[in-house]
A = this chain, B = another copy of it.
Amino acid sequence: MLKDFETKKHEDKSQLNAEIKELQSKLLGQQQLLMQAKLPVIVLIEGWAASGKGSLIKEFISELDPRFYHVESPKPLPQSQERYPFLYPYMKAIPINGKVTFLDSGWMENVVRKYLRHEITKEEYRCMIRQVNEFERQLRDGGYIILKIFLHIGKQEQYDRLYRLVEDPGTEWRVDQDDLWQHKEYKRFMEAYDDFMEKTGDIAGWHVLDGNRRKTATRDALKLLVQRIERGIEEGKYEGSTSEEDFPLKEMPKLADVDLSPSIDDEEYSKELKKLQTRLSELHNIIYRKKIPVILCYEGWDAAGKGGNIRRVTYALDPRGFDVHPIASPLPHELNRHYLWRFWINLPKTGHICIFDRTWYGRVMVERLEGFCTDKEWRRAYHEINEFERMLTDWGAVLIKFWIHIDQDVQLERFTNRENTPEKQWKITDEDWRNREKWDEYEVVVDELLQKTSTKNAPWYIIESNDKKYARIKTLRIIVKALEKACEKNFKRLME
């Protein structure tokens, strides 16, 4: 607790300097071990304005190889970042396995400022606290080492430091209005920091260091990191928790019970397609103006007709306002980060539509079946995905998930057709045939994921696609209806 924190000025500098040097060289020695153990480390340094966060980071990195770490300073957040979920810049900044990211202030400062500026309600504040805890737990479970430090200085000390900075024309620019506001509202900030730390210490504990005693704080911070890494290397990659929380779920049928006979005649199809596309086009305008982010997820059997379905949607959209992200096997730099990272960084900004052609559900389908992740990892993923999606809908996103469904006979027909049509041959590969052989295994895992992740806020829709045209119309209707509902409200108020 900051309010009971006792700070002192005195310290034995030469003794401390020697200790710091020793710890820095220990840290240097840990570089290689971390790389070998493929452990990623996040060091979050929060604290008062002028408490010495930058200088502390300098001491952390002074002996390190630049290939080994990255310093991220997401404050002040560029305005463009405000168009993403508030944890977006931090997720974007997570290191790859074996490396360290130092964050010069992060999610704590971001949330506390928003709260004290009344940009968010109490309700939203609580929601963000929950998201922070989920974020930290997911990273920890993904093998990330997280060290959180708060640099504390008293009000008088802060005054002296800000005064010295402002007086010197060379450093005056370093003090901005926000810093002066913080100083003026020192007490309110202290209470808010305390509250935040109290509520977010479970996954990775907070370490409050005395910014008054620079050398001592540096020594302590270095020691914390060195010890934390030592422990991490000793214990090996964290295997993850199995926390369970019940999300309100929508009941889903088994795939085997879905009637795939629905169809549509050509005339009605043309008429409906035109009507729905026109309406979708209008809605895209409103979405853009109201700054509502939209995320459409496509999963389904090979040759189920995802591509054609997506094209009927995008044809109605302004190409400046949407992106399609085709998801293939992760590239090395994606594989070496948290599995959700590559989806996070491709989230749409507010007012934009983003279509994922295959999604994060790969983890509980192909990665599970092919053994690309551990048992614990895919079992945990349902829960992590539900949290991820709740974060998105809490943010205000419209999130719709489609399972494009066909039966085995239709798939065989389409595969054969592809093989016999020269322009379509590229669409069919040996892997498709191999996957087809595993149809039954896939059906089990798909049934399971539909049961476990069809939450009220982000439900699944099974789209009968034996008749592709029927499927397209159904999909468009669902999208139009969801957007109409969303457009009745305004973004930013959706969270309440």
User: B-contacting residues of A (Cβ < 8 Å)?
Assistant: 28-29, 31-32, 35, 54, 57-58, 61-63, 65-67, 70-71, 73, 78-80, 102, 104, 170-171, 173-174, 282, 285-286, 288-289, 307, 310-311, 314-315, 318-320, 323-326, 328, 331-333, 355, 357, 423, 426
Contact = CB atoms under 8 A, between A and B. Distances in A.
Contact of A61 (B58, B67, B319): B319
Contacts of A320: 54, 71, 73, 104
A252 to B, nearest CB: 27
Contacts of A104: 319-320
B324 A66 contact: yes
A73 B331 contact: no
Contacts of A357: 66-67
Number of copies: 2
Contacts of A426: 31-32, 35
- 7 cross-chain pairs, A with B, having the tightest CB-CB distances, nearest first: A66-B324, A73-B320, A67-B326, A71-B319, A57-B319, A32-B426, A78-B80
B332 A66 contact: no
A104 B31 CA distance: 45
A355 B65 CA distance: 13
B285 A170 contact: yes
Contact of A29 (B67, B318, B325, B423): B423
B173 A285 contact: yes
A141 to B, nearest CB: 27
A310 B66 contact: yes
A151 B46 CA distance: 52
Given A65-B326, A78-B80, A79-B80, 14 more contacts: A29-B423, A57-B319, A58-B315, A58-B318, A58-B319, A66-B324, A66-B355, A67-B326, A73-B319, A73-B320, A104-B319, A171-B285, A173-B288, A173-B289
